């Protein structure tokens, strides 16, 4: 029997600051729990690791909002701003096979681990540029001055957005991160501008590629991701203009706020856990990379940026963890709760940077597993290592209890992360 008296309140300010006690309660007493979200939509929250992993890979749970019982009225309440714009609806996180299989195969041809690995020096250069911006000052806000700009410029570079246009993207992204998927006009305007820009850029790159057909990934000719996407689509399955713009948009969107928060939440955890932080710093000073690699995974498990996986809808009557779910019901898999499940992780609330057995769900699981995980890892490792090496006495410049968290549904991240350190000479 569920002890309703002890049921913690969800979606309050306290919950946004530290949702983990409430998730522990749900995991224990109501592992598949129906709740009313702040938007008024009713949804099931799945909090145990085993149920979460199974649900993420269950083909009866569709990503397409047409399956939502309240659809189409409920559309656009999913927290992704692009979903308000019909032109951007057909992206990977909104579709099922066979369309998903086709589009994912296409983008995988362009978004290769090789392309990401080649991008390493550029990420280091960007990281140093942003640290240069505040290193001599002795204090900074790591969210605004570092975690926020780094991923947006990195993804713009990778996509092939010319340098002179990248500040526009920073502004549009800033508008989206400040206001989330809310109904404010500014967000809709930013999404519209971004889409118009991407459509134009895709046209331009297609024309450039047609003019220099020799341009191939192997000979140093245009090798940005959008060009790769166009090449893959022109040589194989076709990508419509809307699909191409939606693809570029989802790469920007999915790769932006997530990475801001991986760096922000990760640094926050390190700054509030002196033991693990000292261990990591010592390992970096010895020039090792093994601990840095497991550390990024552990920080992602312990306080990852994607609190809840993006929406899924039951296409048929089914059961999760024995709980019957009706066709048309939305299901939200709580990654943050699953990744602290004591049934799967030893001492789940502790931070063990060297944790070896760590099959966390921070990047999801199944066919929608994060496409950008190699890029996210590259950015997070570079960011953390650079900060801890260049600013070795970095410390929080605020009482941890005073830090404000964004109250979004899908993402978990800090509004600001004030730090102090000995200025670089
Ligand atoms: C999907 C997490 C960075 C692109 C996902 C999913 C998660 C996730 C949990 C699955 C969502 C679901 O099943 O509902 C993260 C985290 C990141 C990160 C924690 C950073 C720390 C990135 C980056 C990119 C990216 C840098 C691209 C540049 C995508 C795409 C999908 C996705 C395109 C959809 C894949 C599909 O539906 O097939 N990500 N992500 N992500 N991610 Fe990431």
pLDDT tens-digit series, residues 84-101: 455 666 788 888 999 899
**364 CB within 6 A, ligand 1:** yes
pLDDT at 407 (0 to 100): 75
Confidence label for 74 from pLDDT (cuts 50, 70 and 90): very low
**372 CB within 6 A, ligand 1:** yes
Question: 300 lies in which domain range?
Answer: 65-305+367-420
pLDDT tens-digit series, residues 274-292: 999 999 999 999 999 999 9
pLDDT at 114 (0 to 100): 86
Phi, psi of 267 (to 5 degrees): -65, -40
Residue with tokens 């192997």: 218
Q: Report yes or no on 18 lying in a domain.
A: no
**229 CB within 6 A, ligand 1:** no
**Count: domains in the chain:** 1
**419 CB within 6 A, ligand 1:** no
Q: Report yes or no on 149 lying in a domain.
A: yes
**Which residue of 363, 367, 377, 379 sits with most ligand 1 atoms within 8 Å of its CB, as the best mutation to test the pocket?**
363
Atom of ligand 1 nearest to the CA of 379: 26
Phi, psi of 323 (to 5 degrees): -90, 120
Atom of ligand 1 nearest to the CA of 155: 28
Phi, psi of 307 (to 5 degrees): -70, -45
Q: Give the separation between CA 57 and CA 333, rounded to whole angstroms.
A: 11
Q: What is the pTM of this model?
A: 0.92
The C-alpha torsion from 326 through 332 and 334 to 335, rounded to 10°, is 120
pLDDT at 412 (0 to 100): 95
pLDDT at 66 (0 to 100): 87
pLDDT at 212 over 80: no
Helix (H) or strand (E) holding 139: strand 139-141
Greater pLDDT, 254 or 61:
61
Helix (H) or strand (E) holding 269: helix 241-272
Q: Give the separation between CA 176 and CA 85, rounded to whole angstroms.
A: 14
Token output for 313: 């809808």
Q: Report yes or no on 401 lying in a domain.
A: yes
**Which residue of 254, 379, 382 sits with most ligand 1 atoms within 8 Å of its CB, as the best mutation to test the pocket?**
254
pLDDT at 179 (0 to 100): 62
Please report which residue ranges of 147-240 form alpha helices under DSSP H: 149-159, 166-179, 185-211, 225-235
**Which residue of 98, 258, 338 sits with most ligand 1 atoms within 8 Å of its CB, as the best mutation to test the pocket?**
258
Token output for 305: 């940026």
Interior/surface letters 259-276, b for 16+ CB within 10 angstroms, e for the rest: bbbbbbbbbbbbbebeeb
Q: Which residues contact 27 (CB under 8 A, 6 or more apart)?
A: 47, 48, 337, 341
pLDDT at 182 (0 to 100): 45
Give the strand pairing for 330-333 and 42-46: parallel
Atom of ligand 1 nearest to the CA of 304: 19
pLDDT at 83 over 60: no
pLDDT tens-digit series, residues 216-265: 444 444 578 888 888 877 766 677 777 788 888 888 888 898 999 999 99
Ligand 1 centroid–CA 307 distance in Å is 12
Q: Report yes or no on 388 lying in a domain.
A: yes
**305 CB within 6 A, ligand 1:** yes
Share of the chain above pLDDT 70, in %: 89
**258 CB within 6 A, ligand 1:** yes
Supply the CATH number for residue 257's domain.
1.10.630.10
Q: What is the mean pLDDT of the chain?
A: 89
| Residue 333: strand, helix, or coil | strand
Q: Report yes or no on 313 lying in a domain.
A: no
pLDDT at 78 (0 to 100): 45
Q: Report yes or no on 178 lying in a domain.
A: yes
State the distance between the two ends of the chain, measured CA to CA, in whole angstroms. Answer: 62
**247 CB within 6 A, ligand 1:** no
Greater pLDDT, 221 or 33:
33
Phi, psi of 35 (to 5 degrees): -140, 165
Q: Give the separation between CA 263 and CA 268, rounded to whole angstroms.
A: 8
Which residue has the least CA distance to atom 43 on ligand 1?
A: 370
Atom of ligand 1 nearest to the CA of 335: 9
Q: Report yes or no on 322 lying in a domain.
A: no
Degrees (nearest 5) of the Cα angle 375, 379, 384?
Answer: 150
**246 CB within 6 A, ligand 1:** no
| Residue 224: strand, helix, or coil | coil
Mean pLDDT over 41-52 rounds to 97
Q: Report yes or no on 34 lying in a domain.
A: no
Q: Give the separation between CA 367 and CA 56, rounded to whole angstroms.
A: 9
The answer to whether 209 and 220 have CB atoms below 8 angstroms apart is no
Token output for 257: 């706020």
């Amino acid at each position: 029997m569920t002890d309703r008296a002890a049921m913690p309140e969800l979606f309050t300010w306290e919950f946004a600051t530290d949702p983990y006690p409430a998730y522990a309660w749900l995991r224990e007493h109501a592992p598949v729990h129906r709740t009313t979200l702040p938007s008024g939509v009713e949804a099931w929250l799945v909090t145990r690791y085993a149920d979460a992993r199974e649900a993420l890979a269950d083909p009866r749970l569709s990503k397409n909002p047409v399956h939502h019982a309240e659809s189409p009225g409920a559309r656009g309440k999913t927290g992704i701003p692009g979903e308000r714009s019909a032109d951007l609806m057909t992206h990977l996180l909104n579709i099922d096979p066979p369309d998903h299989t086709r589009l994912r195969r296409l983008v995988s041809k362009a978004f290769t681990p090789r392309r990401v690995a080649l991008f390493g020096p550029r990420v280091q250069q960007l990281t140093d540029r942003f640290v240069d911006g505040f290193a001599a000052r002795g204090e900074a806000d790591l969210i605004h001055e570092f975690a926020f700009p780094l991923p947006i410029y990195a993804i713009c570079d990778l996509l092939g957005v010319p340098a002179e246009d990248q500040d526009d993207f920073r502004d549009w992204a800033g508008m989206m991160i400040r206001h989330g998927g809310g109904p404010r006009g500014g967000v809709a305007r930013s999404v519209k501008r971004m889409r118009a820009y991407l459509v134009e850029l895709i046209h331009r790159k297609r024309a450039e590629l047609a003019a220099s057909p020799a341009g191939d990934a192997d000979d140093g000719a245009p090798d940005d991701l959008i060009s790769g996407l166009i090449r893959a689509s022109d040589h194989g399955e076709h990508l419509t203009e809307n699909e191409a713009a939606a693809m570029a948009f989802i790469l920007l969107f999915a790769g932006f706020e997530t990475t801001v928060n991986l760096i922000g939440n990760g640094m926050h955890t390190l700054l509030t856990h002196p033991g693990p932080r000292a261990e990591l710093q010592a390992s970096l000073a010895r020039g090792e990379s093994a601990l840095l690699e497991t550390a990024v995974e552990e920080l992602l498990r312990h306080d990852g940026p994607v609190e809840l996986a993006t929406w899924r809808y039951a296409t048929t009557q089914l059961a999760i963890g024995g709980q019957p779910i009706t066709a048309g019901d939305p299901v939200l898999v709580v990654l943050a709760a699953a990744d602290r499940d004591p049934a799967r992780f030893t001492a789940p609330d502790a931070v063990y940077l060297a944790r070896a057995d760590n099959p966390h769900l921070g990047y999801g699981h199944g066919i929608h597993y994060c496409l950008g995980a190699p890029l996210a890892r590259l950015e997070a490792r570079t960011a953390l290592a650079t900060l801890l090496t260049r600013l070795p006495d970095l410390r929080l410049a605020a009482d941890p209890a005073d830090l404000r968290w964004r109250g979004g549904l899908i993402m978990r991240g800090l509004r600001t992360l004030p730090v102090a350190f000995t200025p670089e000479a």
